[in-house]
Each structure stands twice: as structure tokens, then as C-alpha cells.
Amino acid sequence: MIIRIYKEKILFYYTFIIWFIVDVLSHTTIEKSTGIPLSLIDNITDIVVLIILVSQIVFEQAYSRIELLFVVIIFVLVSLSAFSCGDNKFISLFLFIVAARGVDMKRLTLWVFRVLVAITSIVILLTSAGILDDKTYRRIGLVRHSLGFEHPNVLGVVIFQIAVCFCILNENKIIRQIIAIVVAILFDFMVPNSQSPTVILVVLLIVLPIYQLIQRKEYRGATLKNWMLHGAIACNFFSVLLTVIDYSKIPILNRVDDFLSMRFKYARIAYRESGIKLLGQIIYTAEENRKRMAYKGHLFLDNAYATILLRYGIVIYVIFSLAYISTMRLQMKKRNSLLFVILFVFAIYGIMETSMFMLEYNFLLICMSDILYFRDRKNLDECDKKPLKLDA
């Protein structure tokens, strides 16, 4: 059964990986250092991928009436939001999710892991050889290195992704997982000095023993899963709450915001400037654009939940929030405990970074396809739990 589905989805795997490779390369200094037109290649790739995904969705997949209704309605809403805010990120995400019917997440994880390790290694080697630029910044006496990526934070997120993939591919091998995460934490802190990926890697290190407890203690595991599910909801709820209320007179919330590099402060500035629209709006964050709108300085809008609500609108915020929590609940029902735990970690990450809802940084969003097609995969639950052979 798995082999049959894999053969049917081979076009999706190749399409996703090619898109992913080009996207990762476009966040390096290759174009500026060598003149290779990666921006043009990225744009062409996006168009080709769009055509392939639409063709697959329309001609290669069958839908029930309810599934088709959901797909059409959500696509219309996402398209209207993209038109309003001038950003088609959620269109790409939605098309990949719809086209991902029957995709084996462990196999996709293996492909993503190999791509990330290969590209990161090549980029670092080219930087060491002086071919690519190493963008450096200073923070409290520490030199932050990008090692060939466009910013140290990008390198930090890439290392975080590699660690996540390694944990998924080494499910139930706790010692390997812990060693990999500790190495990633040390690297992210010492080289790019990227705070958010470092913090969230520490969170991942903490929750791994919880995952082991979930696996071994069924009753306690169910309780912990419910806590984590409610924790993911709380991350979303309080992010939005602190965006729309004035918390300046509450000392503890001010201290939390200072620790999070004023994520809520900047979200609140964007809220006061632009308000909230039903289907989104253009939010100006770059300093030069904000000057034309009589706003001051650069706007660091990094909280994922506030960004979705303010930039993409109430409708997309509600759809994404329900889809994310529903995906976690479905993974919990299917007893995919590790994916459930990692989705919880990404939910916490959403407080600090918009990467949480970007497919290039959180490919596990592909799991949302299970909401539409979970009946297709009910016979694969046990097969998905088998160890993945890395020589596949």
C-alpha cells in the first residue's frame, strides 16, 4: 500500500523538493556573490510549480462533494486575501497541502533532511573558500555569522530544521535525538547567535522526555497531550490578545515582552496603525516604505499569529488556526506522538517567528492535508509507525 501511494505521489515529491531547493538557495548570498540569477530562477520555479500543482489537483485527484466544497471555498478566500495584502504565500501553502493527498511524511522528511544537509554543507564550504559572503553582525560582544546565508537568523532556522528532521527520522532513539539537539543548540548560539531558534531548540530538548512519557504511559500520555494541545491554543490566543490590548501597565507582561525582543510591542504598533481587516491588508515593515506612509522606523512584525491576523486578515487567521489545531488533534488521534509534539513546539515558535507558518521553514504544515483526506490514510496508521529505512 505504501509503495503504491509513493509511486502515485512521485511527481509531488519531486515538485516539492525542487521548489524547496530553489527556495533555500535563494536565501543564500549566491546571487550577490556569483551573479547567478537565483531571484529569476526562483520566480520561474514558482510559476512552474504552480502549474504542476494545479494540474495535479484538478486532473489527478478525486474528491468527495464535501472535500471539493472545502477546497473551492478556501481557495477563493485565500486568493482574495492574497489580493488584499499583496502576498501569495498562503496560496502556495494551500496548493501544496491540497496536492499532498497520500504523502508519506517520513519519506518527505528524509528528502528535506538530505537537501538541507547537502545545501548547508556546500554553502559553508563555499563561504570558507571565500566564494560566498559571510555576513557578520555584532550582538553584545558576540560576532554573528551567516556562513553564506543571507542573514545569521536564516542559518539558525536551517539548523533548527535539520535537528527537527533528524528527530523525526530517529524516532524512539532518544540518545541520538538529544545529542543532535544539543549540538544544534551550541551551533546556533555560538555561530549565528540566533536567539529564537536557540530558544526553541531548548524547548524541543525539554519536551522530548515528555514524548517518551507519552509513549510509555498511556493514561499520563493522554493527559500530557491535552495539556500540550491547550498550550498550542494558548500560544495563539495570548499572542492575539497582547496585540489588541494595552498591557504597558502590567510589569510581568512587559518583562516577558522584553525577553521576547518586544514581539508584542511591534505587533501592537502595527495594530494601532492599520487595525484588523476581514481579508487582510498591506502592512509596511521596511523603513523606506514606512516613511512614505508617515510611519517611523522599521517594524519588526515577527509574531506569527499577529502577522496572520493583521496582514492576511480575520478569515485566514481563523482558517489557519482551526486547521493547525485540527491537525494536532488528528495526529494525536492517529497516535503519531512525535509529529504531535513537534507541531506543539512549532506552535510555541510562532510566538517568536513568522517562520512557523512558512512552508519553506515548517514543511510539517503538509500534515494539514490529513484534515481533508484522513479517511484515505486510516489503513496506513500502523505502517507509518514502522521505522523508516534510510536507504529508501
Burial 38-55 (b: 16+ CB within 10 A, else e): beeebeebeeebeebbee
Reported for 177-186, long-range contacts at CB under 8 A and 24+ positions apart, including other chains, are 177/208, 178/205, 178/208, 181/205, 181/208, 184/159, 184/160
- Give the residue, 230 or 212, on which the prediction is more confident: 230
Each residue's pLDDT tens digit, 25-61: 999 999 999 999 999 999 999 999 999 999 999 988 8
Mean pLDDT of the chain: 88
Residue 377: what pLDDT?
A: 54
Average pLDDT of the segment spanning 296-315 = 91
Residue 218: what pLDDT?
A: 61
- Give the residue, 132 or 60, on which the prediction is more confident: 132
Nearest to 310 by CA among 339, 284, 345, 338: 284
- Please say whether the beta carbons of 287 and 298 come within 8 A: yes
Residue 297: what pLDDT?
A: 77
**Alpha helices, H only, 104-190:** 105-128, 152-169, 174-190
Using left for φ > 0, alpha for ψ between -120 and 50, and beta otherwise, residue 135 falls in beta
Q: Percentage of the chain surpassing pLDDT 70?
A: 91
Residue 296: what pLDDT?
A: 76
- Model confidence band, residue 350 (pLDDT cutoffs 50, 70, 90): very high
- Please say whether the beta carbons of 84 and 366 come within 8 A: no
Residue 214: what pLDDT?
A: 72
CA neighbours within 13 Å on the CB side: how many for 20? 28
Q: CB within 8 A of 132, min separation 6: which ones?
A: 28, 29, 30, 33, 34, 123, 126, 148
Cell of 222: 493522554
pLDDT at 1 over 80: no
Average pLDDT of the segment spanning 302-306 = 95
- Please say whether the beta carbons of 145 and 191 come within 8 A: yes
As to burial, measured by CB atoms within 10 angstroms (0-12 exposed, 13-18 middle, 19+ buried), residue 339 is buried
pLDDT at 122 over 90: yes
pLDDT at 380 over 60: no
- Model confidence band, residue 161 (pLDDT cutoffs 50, 70, 90): very high
User: Among 152-161, 267-276, 335-344, 369-378, which stretch is predicted with the lowest mean pLDDT?
Assistant: 369-378
pLDDT at 338 over 60: yes
- Give the residue, 158 or 392, on which the prediction is more confident: 158
Each residue's pLDDT tens digit, 56-98: 999 888 888 888 898 999 999 999 999 999 999 999 999 999 9
- Model confidence band, residue 128 (pLDDT cutoffs 50, 70, 90): very high
pLDDT at 143 over 80: yes
pLDDT at 383 over 60: no
**Alpha helices, H only, 149-286:** 152-169, 174-190, 195-216, 218-244, 251-259, 263-274
User: Among 18-22, 208-212, 279-283, 298-302, which stretch is predicted with the lowest mean pLDDT?
Assistant: 208-212
Cell of 56: 495535479
pTM for this model (two decimals): 0.90
pLDDT at 252 over 60: yes
Q: Percentage of the chain surpassing pLDDT 90?
A: 65
Residue 300: what pLDDT?
A: 86
pLDDT at 294 over 80: no
Residue 96: what pLDDT?
A: 96
- Model confidence band, residue 3 (pLDDT cutoffs 50, 70, 90): very low
Residues 59, 144: Cα–Cα separation, whole Å: 48
pLDDT at 176 over 60: yes
- Please say whether the beta carbons of 381 and 375 come within 8 A: no
Average pLDDT of the segment spanning 256-284 = 90
CA dihedral for 24, 25, 31, 34, sign (positive or negative): positive
pLDDT at 187 over 90: yes
φ, ψ dihedrals at 143, nearest 5°? -95, 125
Q: CB within 8 A of 265, min separation 6: which ones?
A: 257
pLDDT at 172 over 70: yes
pLDDT at 392 over 60: no
Nearest to 146 by CA among 132, 134, 158: 134
Cell of 364: 510539517
Residues 197, 281: Cα–Cα separation, whole Å: 28
Average pLDDT of the segment spanning 273-291 = 86
